[in-house]
Structures are given as structure tokens and as C-alpha cells.
Amino acid sequence: MNRSTSDQNPINPIIGVLTGILCVSTASIIIRFAQVEASSIVIAAARLLIASFVLIPIALIRHWQDIRRLSKPDLLRALLSGVFLALHFASWIRSLEFTSVASSVVLVTTTPLWVALLSPLLLHEPIKRSVIIGLIVSMTGSVIVGLANACGFSGERLVCQGQLVGENAVLGNFLALFGAWMAAGYMIIGRQLRKSLNTVAYTAIVYGTAAVILSIVVFIQGEPFWNYSSNTYLWLLALGIVPQLMGHSLLNWALRFISAAYVSLTLLGEPIGTVILAMIFLKESPTFLEGMGAILILLGIVIGSIGKARQANAA
């Protein structure tokens, strides 16, 4: 049996995606604890280094033939996907230094919009009407969740306040939007290559490339990878294993079976998981607007999932 076809479908891909989203949702909570000592760029590099250290030996031992059979164009695409992933993390995290959390979240979660717009052109995958409707509903919910940090009810009135940080808010907003574009490129290339390349081989190349790029940035900025407490290293280890190794890898696995547009749509469920975990571990209760936005996000994902379920049943 060809190893490149060893990715079987033991579970429903939609269940796999939702499990991946649950794992990815832990990232914000873990990062909150790791940021007590480590900088954002170190955290981003560490999560990918840890995942790479696990995946690369497995890929070389069990899937070396898959990697060797990669054509030069496909290898370049995989490397480019890693570049996109590194730029996504670097630009989005950097954006938080210049603009408000609300603005950054609203802009970076436009990823599904760009994937939906580009998929028909680059992947020749028509976007089903249910996915488009679900995308619109979930994007609306995502915007509400993002604005919840800047807006709230005062009596019966909705009051919003600007929360721009520093004088470079325009740059911060652009970096967040750039992060969304890079995430869209990462998802689209993943959809292209995952049709023929094993999950472990693909993620090892992509994570490894991103880890090298971010590590270079860390050294250029003079940030240390050491001299942290044992707790910080445990948080970094958890970040590399749960949201990256398990979460992102499950999403990459699902790209073999379902469209990039749908996988990116479900990514909008990440804030919901984060809010739930924040309630449990950080004792942070969601606001009314966050609750309303979460409901819309879930509704949009359900609408998009109905069409996928019908398509799977028909097949």
C-alpha cells in the first residue's frame, strides 16, 4: 500500500475538524500563562519547534519515500506553506503591539472570507451555498466577538470606545489583515497538497519551515530561548503539543477530505472554545455581546455543516 495514501478516514472529517478546533482553542489560554516570562515571538517559535521535533523524525523514518516522491513544484509549495504559516503567526502577534485586541481579532478572522474568494480560482472548488451562508453568519458573529472588547451596554444603550494602542494603529490593523491573508494561503496550499501527501510528511515540512523562519527572527531580535522557569517551559511544551501538534495537524488531515473553505469556516469556532476555557481556567465570564457573537458563530458552522453532511451522505 502506498504510504501517501495511508491517510484513511477512520472518523468523520467534520468531527476531526471540530476536535482540531477544540485543541486550537487552548492556544490563547496557554499563551496567556507563557507570556508571564516569554515574548510573543519566542512563544510562536517554540510552539512550532516543539511540534517539528516530534514530527520530523517520524516523517523521515516512516514517510521518507513520500517526501522523496514529491515533485519540485510540490516541495516548493510545501515550503511556501511554511512561510505563510510563519508570517501568519509573526504578523498577527506583532499587530497586538500596535492596535487594539478588538481590531486585531476582527481583521485576522477574515481568513475564511479570503479562502472562499480564492478557492474557486486557485482550487477550482465551487463554494456551496450553505457554506457561503454559514460564512456570512459566522463572520458576523466573529465581528461581534471582536467588538465586544470595545463595546458594551450602558443601561439600554450600546456604547463603544476606541482602544487604539500607540500611534501606529494603521500599521497594526494592516499586520492583522496581512496575518489573515497568510493564513488563507496556508489553508489553500494545504488543500492542494493534502490530496496526495501524507499528513505527517506534509506537516513536518510546513512546521519545520515555519520553525526555522521564526527562530531566525528570534535570534535577530536577540530574544532568549532559555533562562525561563520550569512552568514557562511546561506551558511552551503544552502549546507545541496540544494546539499545534494536535490541533493544526487535525485540520491539515481534514483538508484531504473536505474543502479549504469549510475548514477555514470552522476556524471561526476557535473564539468560542477560548471563551469557555477562559471561564474555567481564568475565571473570565463572557459579556452579553460575546455570548451573542458565539451563538452566531455556532449557527454559521451548523449551517455550513448541513450542506457538508448532505454531500457526505449522498456520496
The answer to whether 37 and 232 are in contact (CB under 8 A) is yes
The answer to whether 102 and 147 are in contact (CB under 8 A) is yes
Which whole number is the average pLDDT over 105-129?
77
Question: In this predicted structure, what is the pLDDT of residue 1?
Answer: 39
Question: In this predicted structure, what is the pLDDT of residue 73?
Answer: 92
- Burial pattern 233-271, b for ≥16 Cβ within 10 A else e, equals eebbebbbbbbbbbbbbbbbbbbbbbbbbbbbbbbbbbb
Which whole number is the average pLDDT over 111-133?
79
Question: In this predicted structure, what is the pLDDT of residue 122?
Answer: 84
pLDDT-based confidence at residue 5 (cuts at 50, 70, 90): very low
Which whole number is the average pLDDT over 234-241?
95
Question: In this predicted structure, what is the pLDDT of residue 74?
Answer: 92
pLDDT-based confidence at residue 45 (cuts at 50, 70, 90): very high
The yes-or-no verdict on residue 83 having pLDDT over 90 is yes
Contacts of 303 (CB under 8 A, 6+ apart): 130, 133, 134, 137
Q: 293: phi > 0 → left, psi -120 to 50 → alpha, else beta; which?
A: alpha
**Nearest of 3, 24, 1 to residue 252 by alpha carbon:** 24
Q: In the numeric block, which cell numbers belong to residue 296?
A: 452566531
In this structure, is the dihedral angle defined by the CA atoms of residues 18, 22, 24 and 25, taken in order, positive or negative?
A: positive
In the block, residue with C-alpha cell 513520500: 66
**Range of weakest confidence among 104-108, 155-159, 272-276:** 155-159
CA distance linking residue 28 with residue 75, whole number of Å: 31
Total Cβ atoms within 10 A of residue 83: 18
pLDDT-based confidence at residue 302 (cuts at 50, 70, 90): confident
Which whole number is the average pLDDT over 121-130?
79
Task: Please state, for a pLDDT cut of 70, what percent of the chain lies above it.
Answer: 76
Which whole number is the average pLDDT over 192-213?
90
The answer to whether 110 and 231 are in contact (CB under 8 A) is no
DSSP code, position 243:
I
For 162-186, the pLDDT digits (tens) are: 554 455 667 877 888 898 899 999 9
Backbone angles phi, psi at 154, to 5 degrees: -115, 95
